[in-house]
Chains A and B, each alone.
Chain A
């Protein structure tokens, strides 16, 4: 119970402090939510009118973009993480990199078939 109280006090103290240092006066959460809101809107707008012919390439292309976690996993092998986190980070790098490279190359192959046909006609 003591542990619990100590933690609660420390958490309350910490919750107000470190988050606010990140970007000036605004805590990152607020900045992040702004970015999130606007990107979702952009995402909806950009994809709304894609012809069905391109649904599969669009999906595998955006799938490759979801491998952006590669950036996150690179941070995890940094030295402010302990060794075991670094190992998880390395696995994440491997997974994300397969996703990124595989996704973009596969999409390129698919689209190559479309444009080859368009050219011949």
Chain B
């Protein structure tokens, strides 16, 4: 049994302590809470469900089917010469992870109002735990994608695509997706905590955003002189990079990618600042 911790310990609580109160160090102390929250999400999601984690496969597969029929066959949008199923699955891979993080994080305050009102822990644990638990769905979708990849590549002998050594960069890309979704999600969480009606906006935003991102169409379909507009969206190079790494086909221009990274950093810092400001007195405005 561990008794009380002997090390000297002192916290000074001041109004508006600013950055000092972000307490990256205390996040580390609460790492067990983070892992337990992830595990709670996992267990509570699948208790009393028949298919359990299979839902993570069913959803993107259905969307892929819809995209293939509507955008591929009916609208005839280009898939960069890739098998449409692989094209759409791969596009959704990065996008879904981003979108799920965004929706869980933007609801941080509202969904946890009861908890936050009764007990202190570094609030940032909650969005971080969401990033980790959504990673699980991502992994399942990635596995699904790999199955289809193997089927198309070797089962049907389709050519014109293939992953190479660059696939080892995938974790970095996932990390950037996670950070960007954290930043955007935190901005949204702070805004929705204050102005409740913005919850509707966040649902709308994520839908519109998907169509502004090359998930169902390739960036190569854009006329060259307009590509920079598409690249203003930080998710554009990310989704294209997912295709480049996993299928070897994608339009990734380094300058657009740098632009996306800068946006990621700026948005995340802004998100942390807003989050930090709101979390102090959030319970007063519930």
The reply to whether chain A is a binding partner of chain B is no
